[in-house]
Amino acid sequence: MITKEISKAKEVLINNQLVAIPTETVYGLAGNAYSEMAIKKIFELKKRPYFNPLIVHIKSISSLFEIATDIPETAYMLAEKFWPGPLTLVLKKRSHISDLITAGKETVAVRVPNHPLTLALLNEIDFPLTAPSANPFGSISPTSAQHVFNYFEKELDVILDGGECEKGLESTIIGFENNKPILYRHGSIAAEEIEQVIGSKIGMKTVDDQAPNAPGMLTRHYAPMTDTYLTDNITEFIKDFEGKKIGLLLFKDAVTDHTIIRQEILSSSGDLHEAAKNLYAAMHRLDQDKLDVIIAEKFPNEGLGKTINDKLERATKKE
């Protein structure tokens, strides 16, 4: 059921079952982070490979020491700035954190989500939640309760409805190697914002198909069922699909072409934050239109444009 009642979600979680939770980024598929039974159910329901780690969601910075140890000063600095919010930190885990969550690694991904319903839920239970996005592995992330319902209507008893996600893109993930911050996943906080806080450039390691340090590092991800392509020249690229039912995913300007079945414009004002918020919902709509192909436009490669391009590159077929 889709509900706003925290008590229903709490009851399900205490019984080691799963619920969908709203966050400011995307909806999560949540279970008790201290329950191996619940953790296994997450992997099984998503059909997610066990080598791909999960994120632990906690209620406040003060809860961080219960999950992680040997925390770098820079990590505290970033947490103070961005929590609650769309920043995930990969830190040395405490021994009681399940190896299932961390894919056998000695590090754990953790964040404080910024959504009133989920924060209220976390304050009602005596355990943290582990929660990847509430979608089948590799498919488009959900940014509304309806998206989750469309994926898991029969499998989930409770979908906590917190409205449309404010950010619409996953959290930015930062790890630490030799105590130096490393970007593992582009997300709702642009890399430039991280660098402004720490006062230096950050390294980047955003792809790993074998043993990823964090979620979102696989080459193929966030993908519609419809064949999807990314280009910096929409007008020319369309010519390769003559006679096909084409849908376009565009930043701010429509394309004049009578052969196009549907166009999704993410921000007519050219606002990258608005475009980010609208990205996955637009991808869902296009994917439901029974098109032959979706063609996405590359975004300006700056700020959140880098994040949007990263998601689109992982969602699209390579020429």
104-157 pLDDT, tens digit each:
999 999 999 999 999 999 999 999 999 999 999 999 999 999 999 999 999 999
pLDDT surpasses 90 at 91:
yes
- Minimal CA–CA distance to 146: which of 27, 42, 263, 283? 27
Write down the number of H helices and E strands in the chain: 10, 16
At 222, the pLDDT band (50, 70, 90 cuts) reads confident
Q: How sure is the predictor about 318, in pLDDT bands with cuts at 50, 70 and 90? A: low
Q: Cα–chain-centroid distance for residue 6?
A: 22
Nearest to 30 by CA among 166, 158, 149: 158
Q: pLDDT at residue 214 above 90?
A: no
| Higher pLDDT among residues 214 and 42, named by residue | 42
- pLDDT value at 53 more than 60: yes
Q: Calculate what percentage of the chain has a pLDDT beyond 90.
A: 89
More confident site: 221 or 153: 153
β 55-57/107-111 pair status: parallel
208-213: average pLDDT: 87
User: Looking at residue 219, what is its pLDDT?
Assistant: 86
Q: Where are the alpha helices (DSSP H) in 140-256?
A: 145-152, 191-198, 234-238
**Whole-number pLDDT of residue 210:** 86
Ranges for all domains in the chain classified under CATH 3.90.870.10: 2-204
- If you average pLDDT over every residue of the chain, what do you get? 95
The band of 187, judged by pLDDT with boundaries at 50, 70 and 90, is very high
Percent of the chain with pLDDT over 70: 99
pTM of the model: 0.95
* Whole-number Cα distances in Å, 98 to 33, 122, 161, 165: 8, 19, 28, 29
Q: For 248-307, how does the pLDDT look when each residue is reduced to its tens digit (9 = 90+)? A: 999 999 998 888 999 999 999 999 999 999 999 999 999 999 999 999 999 999 999 999
Q: What is the per-residue pLDDT for 317?
A: 64
Mean pLDDT of 81-96: 98
Statement: residue 184 has pLDDT above 60: yes
**Cβ atoms 130, 39 nearer than 8 A:** yes
To the question of domain 228-315 being in CATH 3.20.20.80, the answer is no
Specify the domain boundaries for CATH 3.40.50.11030 within the chain: 228-315
CATH architecture assigned to 2-204? Alpha-Beta Complex (3.90)
